[in-house]
């Protein structure tokens, strides 16, 4: 009938808010894990014969920096902009990949963060999340 802007559904808006809060939590978790690995190098123990051997301190820096950027991405989601959603999806994907390689160091924690990352990606890719402007 005419051009009109359709507002996103309440469920879509709730999904973006959920994703933003989860990203802030994931970022905080990453920062805490990163600081723990940097401050106490012997905190995490890796089983022998793991193919991806990296220094725990190096992993700590990866998690610390990634966590800070994820925190910022979580806050950016509250702007409701498409670029923020795209940025958040990329960050959640990078976080899941980084935590996949972190599984031997801290299996439960890494798998939990991967699951939260997947949940964020799901929430941000639901139909009707963003309006086209």
pLDDT tier at 59 (50, 70, 90 boundaries)?
A: confident
Count structural domains, the chain: 1
Q: Identify whether 105 is part of a domain.
A: yes
Q: Identify whether 2 is part of a domain.
A: no
User: Phi/psi of residue 51, each to 5°?
Assistant: -65, -30
Mean pLDDT of 58-63: 86
pLDDT digits (tens, 9 = 90+) for 86-133: 999 999 999 999 889 888 777 888 899 999 999 999 988 877 666 554
pLDDT digits (tens, 9 = 90+) for 11-29: 666 778 888 999 999 999 9
The whole-number pLDDT of residue 2 equals: 47
Q: Identify whether 115 is part of a domain.
A: yes
Q: Identify whether 11 is part of a domain.
A: no
Q: Identify whether 13 is part of a domain.
A: no
Quote the CA–CA distance of 1 and 90 in Å, as a whole number: 37
Q: Which of 117, 107, 106, 97 is nearest to 56 (CA)?
A: 106
The whole-number pLDDT of residue 21 equals: 93
Residue 38's alpha-carbon distances to 6, 31, 87, 92, 118, in angstroms, are 48, 10, 27, 22, 26
User: Phi/psi of residue 22, each to 5°?
Assistant: -60, -40
pLDDT digits (tens, 9 = 90+) for 70-81: 999 999 998 888
Q: Identify whether 64 is part of a domain.
A: yes
pTM: 0.79
CB-CB neighbours of 77 under 10 Å: 24
Q: Is the pLDDT of residue 42 over 80?
A: no
Quote the CA–CA distance of 1 and 125 in Å, as a whole number: 28
Residue 3's alpha-carbon distances to 6, 127, in angstroms, are 9, 20
Q: What angle do CA 100, 85, 95 make, to 5 degrees?
A: 15
The whole-number pLDDT of residue 88 equals: 94
* Domain, as residue range, for 78: 24-40+53-124
Mean pLDDT of 16-44: 86
Q: Identify whether 17 is part of a domain.
A: no
Q: Identify whether 34 is part of a domain.
A: yes
């Amino acid at each position: 009938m005419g051009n009109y802007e359709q507002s996103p559904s309440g469920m879509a808006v709730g999904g973006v808010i959920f994703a933003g809060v989860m990203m802030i939590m994931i970022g905080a978790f990453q920062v805490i894990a990163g600081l723990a690995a940097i401050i106490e190098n012997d905190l995490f123990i890796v089983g022998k014969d793991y193919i991806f051997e990296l220094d725990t301190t190096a992993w700590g820096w990866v998690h610390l920096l990634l966590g800070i950027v994820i925190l910022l991405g979580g806050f950016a989601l509250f702007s409701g902009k498409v670029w923020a959603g795209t940025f958040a999806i990329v960050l959640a994907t990078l976080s899941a990949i980084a935590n996949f390689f972190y599984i031997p160091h801290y299996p439960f924690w890494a798998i939990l963060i991967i699951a939260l990352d997947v949940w964020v990606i799901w929430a941000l890719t639901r139909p009707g999340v963003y309006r086209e402007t």
